[in-house]
Structure 1
Amino acid sequence: MASTLSFTKGHGTGNDFVLFSDPDGLQPLEPAQIAALCDRHFGIGADGVIRAVRSANVDAGAAALAEDPDAEWFMDYHNADGSVAEMCGNGIRVFLHFLLETGLVTLAPGDRLPIGTRAGVRQVGFDALGYAVDLGRWTLDERETLVRVKGLPVARPGIGIDVGNPHIVVAVADAAELDGAELEYIPQLDPEPPHGANVELVVPGDPLFADGVANIRMRVHERGSGETLSCGTGTAAAALAFRFWAGDAAPNDWRVEVPGGVLGVSMLEEPDGEHVVLAGPATLVYSGSITLA
């Protein structure tokens, strides 16, 4: 039986999403419906779908409320192929912008809103670049993963960074290699992580360090979505990896250029350990309705 979905299209530095409001949790979508919505030829076109649902009305929200009873809203995020994703750094900024613009929440300057995700509760608020999200603590896996990318002459070693979802970050030789990589094809990982991973290719900016800020360029293949113009958690992972490679002299403030724009990444010491914060713009493009099969 067909139904109608009211939606809004939004993006963060070109990483685009179909968002819809379902506060009571009455309209979960099937993976095939999500894939159809994200199809760029026959659907709306997007890198993923975000459902705004109250944490109390979705099974995955129970853990968020246990972590923070104020996490009223849950970001139910799925990749373009319909698969579930733990977190999305660009998506959560666009999600907050959507909640604010549709009147579902209010937020005073300087305040932050706790939002439930499958990676845990994340605090999001306003920033000079648009919105900033505290991605929380992160982990490094120094074990080498061999990454084969179509268009690169040889396989490259990568390191694992987890910022709520898994990433493998690879340094390539130069800008020509970065630009020549064919990331529409799925990179081959050896060993293959049990749940897959996003793959980031990075090169230093010119200059790498200026005025206490480090600059890098990045492209990404997102697990379940393909190459995207930007990946928020991926920029954080790329900055963390580059800081690890650069050593103790590296700064904690990073500017990451992606095909869709520029994002800021900062590392901050908190009582429970180091957190990584992602900042950047969020834009709502248009709203409409579509019939779902």
Structure 2
Amino acid sequence: MSQTLSFSKGHGTGNDFVIIPDADGALDLTDDQIAALCDRRFGIGGDGMLRVVRSEAIPEGREAHIAGAEWFMDYRNADGSAAEMCGNGIRVFARYLADNGWASLDEELRIGTRAGVKTVTRSDRGFEVDLGAWVIEDGDVLVRARGLDVPRPGQGIDVGNPHVVVALSSEAELDALDLTHIPFLDPAPPAGANIEFVVPSDPLVQGGVGAIRMRVFERGVGETLSCGTGVAAAALAVRHWAGPAAPDAWIVDVPGGTLGVRMAEGHVLLSGPASLVFHGEVTLA
């Protein structure tokens, strides 16, 4: 039996999403159906899906509901797999709620995710999300990627979802990466990880603000134009490598645009734009 769904399409610095409103939690989409929606040739196309559902309507949202978050971001990767968080996605999610009159951004907006409740506010760059505390993992992960002459050490960073950040020596080396192939991690994290490749700007810091350039391979998706939590992880890794004199404010350039990162009181915050580009209906088998 087929079903017709309303949807919207949105993006944050080119990281794009199919948005499905399901306030009462009535939908039970399979991984294959989500993958079909996200298919760029036969579906709507997107790096992932955002299901807009009330926290009280689904078991995963119970703790978020208790914590005062009316809405839960059920984020799925393009292959249908569930993910803990999405830094670009949550800004698009907040934009969708505000534009549809389902929530207000006049003050902090609390949104439930699998990585806990996150707060979103308006900012000079568009929207800012408090990603919470981060963890710098012990030990190196060896990263092999097509286009790198030798394996490189990667720094594990957890910002609610797992990342491995790799420093490269030059813009040319970053541009030469072939991320149509999955990089290999040794040891492989149990739940996988997003992998960020970064090049520091020269100079690294200007006016008290650090600057880097990044490309990313997202688990369950492939290379994307941007990854919000990956941008935060990359800035945190470079700040860690730079030492105690490193700044708390960063600008990160990705293929889809520019995002801001700042660290305050043990939390990392991500800021950037969020756009809704079209709305429609789609019929799923």
The TM-score, its normalising length taken from structure 1, stands at: 0.96
How far apart are the structure 2 equivalents of 1:97 and 1:259? Answer: 22
* Distance across 2 between alignment mates of 1:214 and 1:245: 12
Counterparts of 1:184 and 1:117 in 2: how far apart (Å)?
29
2:37 is matched with which residue?
Answer: 37
**Aligned-partner Cα distance in 2 for 1:63–1:154:** 45
- 8 Å Cα contact 2:165/2:196 also seen in 1: yes
Distance in 1 of aligned mates of 2:205 and 2:180: 31
Q: What amino acid does structure 2 have at the position aligned with 1:19?
A: I
Q: Kindly report which structure 2 residues correspond to 1:264-283, keeping only aligned pairs within 5 A, or say none.
A: 264-269=260-265, 274-283=266-275
TM-superposition CA deviations, 1:216-274 (whole Å, max 9, x none): 000000010100000000000000000000001110000000000000000001xxxx0
- Distance of 2:253 and 2:28 partners within structure 1: 35
CA RMSD of aligned residues (A): 0.7
* Structure 2 Cα separation of the partners of residues 184 and 78 of structure 1: 20
Q: Given the alignment, which residue of 226, 240, 256 partners 2:222?
A: 226
User: Structure 2 residue aligned with 1:191, among 187, 190, 196?
Assistant: 187
Per-residue deviation, 1:59: 1.1
Compute the displacement of 1:17 (Å).
0.2
Superposition TM-score, scaled by structure 2 size: 0.99
Q: Contact 2:39–2:46 at 8 Å: present in 1 too? A: yes
User: Per-residue CA shift, 1:182-237, capped at 9, x if unaligned?
Assistant: 11211100000000000000001133110010000000000101000000000000
Code of the residue aligned with 1:39 in structure 2: it is: D
Distance 2:104 2:267 in 1: 25
Distance 1:266 1:64 in 2: 25
SS in 2 for 1:237: helix
Give the equivalent residue in structure 1 for 2:130: 134
2:178 matches 1:182: yes
Aligned AA (1:247): G
For structure 2, the 5+ residue unaligned runs are none
Matched-pair identity in %: 62
Q: Which secondary structure state, in structure 1, belongs to the residue aligned with residue 214 of structure 2?
A: strand
Residue identity matched to 2:92 = V
Deviation beyond 2 Å, 4+ runs, structure 1 = none
User: Matched residue pairs, number?
Assistant: 285
| 1:12-47 Cα deviation digits (max 9, x unpaired) | 000000002111000131100110011111111100
Q: Which residue of 2 aligns with 1:248?
A: 244
Q: What is the distance in 1 between the residues matched to 2:65 and 2:37?
A: 29
- Mapping of 1:212-223 within 5 angstroms? 212-223=208-219
Distance in 2 (alpha carbons) for counterparts of 1:135 and 1:265: 10
Write the distance in 2 (CA, Å) between the matches of 1:200 and 1:165: 13
Is the contact between residue 103 and residue 109 of structure 2 (CA under 8 Å) also seen in structure 1?
no
| Counterpart check, 1:53 vs 2:45 | no
In structure 2, the partner of 1:28 is 28
Paired residue for 1:91? 89
> Who is 1:18 aligned against?
18
Please state how far the C-alpha of 1:107 moved relative to its aligned partner.
Answer: 2.5
In the aligned structure 1, how far is the partner of 2:3 from the partner of 2:217? Answer: 32
CA–CA separation in structure 1 for the residues paired with 2:24 and 2:154: 42
* Match for residue 236 of structure 1 among 225, 232, 236: 232
SS in 2 for 1:74: strand
Q: Show the counterpart of 1:290.
A: 282
- Separation (CA, whole Å) in 2 of partners of 1:264 and 1:206: 18
Q: Which amino acid aligns with 2:273?
A: P
Corresponding residue SS for 2:89: helix
* 1:3 positional shift: 0.3
Aligned with 2:116 (options 117, 120, 124): 120
